[in-house]
Copies of this chain bind each other. A is one copy, B any other.
Amino acid sequence: MELLKSTILEDGYILGDDILKVDSFLNHQIDVKLFNEIGKEFKKLFSDVKVDKILTIEASGIGLACVTAQYFDNVPVVFAKKTESLNLDKDLYYSEVYSFTKRKSYKIMVSKKYIKEGDNILIIDDFLANGKAVLGLKDIIDQAKAKLVGAGIVIEKGFQDGGDLVRSQGINLHSLAIIDSMESGKIKFR
């Protein structure tokens, strides 16, 4: 997706060897117009699959998922939670995810009410690095006996093994920008 790639090149920057900061438009400040273009692109890429719900993880995935859902006939969005709350049901699906940027594992939770057997679920998320977030969401979808119809990712770090891992499980993965290297502060797209 050219608009996304040019935005990454213009506004993103690299921290150390492996952290790409895109917080000016993707995961702290949000460019809502760009999110709409991303949503349209996901609709194009997943035009041939039936989508009943979009599933994502808090926090950065939520805005993407909501804007994207508008291009999928306003299907409901469900976001996996990371922390317990008095507001949250007791009847939950759990999985475990290792975060690359936070350097620790955390639990994700989805109420059993919001993913049902047979639901066609599209995963939407901002980053794919080690692939653990997508696999954690897939684990929850499997527990619910729902169907994972695809995973739409904004930025895939192609130099980490998440993309291969996710594709090797037969998941219908589309990443809008795949970065093959960020050596010496220079971003190379696949």
Instruction: Give the distance to chain B from A115, nearest Cβ to Cβ, in Å.
Output: 9
Cα–Cα, bound, A28→B53 (Å):
13
Cα–Cα, bound, A59→B61 (Å):
10
Please, which residues of chain B bring their CB within 8 A of the CB of A67? 66-67, 70
Please, which residues of chain B bring their CB within 8 A of the CB of A77? 29-30, 32, 63
Q: Is A19 part of the contact surface with B, judged by Cβ < 8 Å?
A: yes
Give A contacts to B, CB under 8 Å: 15, 19, 21, 23-24, 27-33, 35-36, 58-60, 62-63, 65-67, 69-70, 74-79, 81, 83, 85-89, 101-103, 110-111, 113-114
Nearest first, the 8 closest Cβ-Cβ pairs linking A and B are A58-B59, A63-B66, A30-B77, A59-B59, A62-B62, A32-B69, A33-B74, A29-B114
User: Quick one: closest B residue to A111, CB to CB?
Assistant: B28
Docked-complex contact B85 and A59, CB < 8 angstroms: no
Please, which residues of chain B bring their CB within 8 A of the CB of A19? 86-87
Please, which residues of chain B bring their CB within 8 A of the CB of A30? 62, 65-66, 69, 76-79
Given contacts A59-B62, A85-B101, A101-B85, contact A76 B23 (CB under 8 A): no
Please, which residues of chain B bring their CB within 8 A of the CB of A32? 66, 69-70, 74-77
Q: Show 19 A/B contacts (Cβ-Cβ < 8 Å), sorted by A.
A: A21-B87, A23-B111, A23-B114, A28-B88, A28-B114, A29-B77, A29-B113, A30-B65, A30-B66, A30-B78, A31-B76, A32-B69, A58-B62, A59-B81, A60-B62, A63-B63, A63-B77, A85-B102, A86-B103
